[in-house]
Amino acid sequence: MSKIKILLLGAGISLAASFSFSAVAADGAALYTAKNCQTCHGAEGKAPIMAMYPKLNGQNKEYLVAQMKDIKSGARNNGMSMAMKAMTATVTDEEFEAIADYLSKVQ
């Protein structure tokens, strides 16, 4: 395969990957709103309505996913997690991933 073909193939793959990452972030932003996360955590996870609610923007994606899954399963049941239990009941693992991905990138 010529160097030009390899270069074009690599550029195409990079471009396709950037579009898919943008789609996931957009889905995460839409899900954040659709699942009413902003009700307590504020727009983009930046301004919780109460001081005891965490700011979510910029947090580590894996940490956010783990916390949401633990709240849903009941493994985490301290603090205000009981208020979140009902909110996470209808959220799928894929939606947790998309929301966490979105929040981890918000500055």
Domain-wise residue ranges, the chain = 25-105
C-alpha closest to that of 38 among 104, 99, 105, 101:
99
Which pLDDT score, from 0 to 100, does residue 1 have? Answer: 60
* 56 phi and psi angles, rounded to 5 deg: -105, -20
Helix count and strand count (H, E) for the chain: 5, 0
Q: Show the tokens assigned to 60.
A: 């580590």
Q: What is the pTM of this model?
A: 0.75
Cβ atoms within 10 Å, residue 10: 10
Q: What is the predicted pLDDT for the residue at 98?
A: 97
Give the architecture (CATH level 2) of 25-105: Orthogonal Bundle (1.10)
Average pLDDT for runs of 10 along the chain of length 107: 52 44 69 96 96 95 97 91 91 96 96
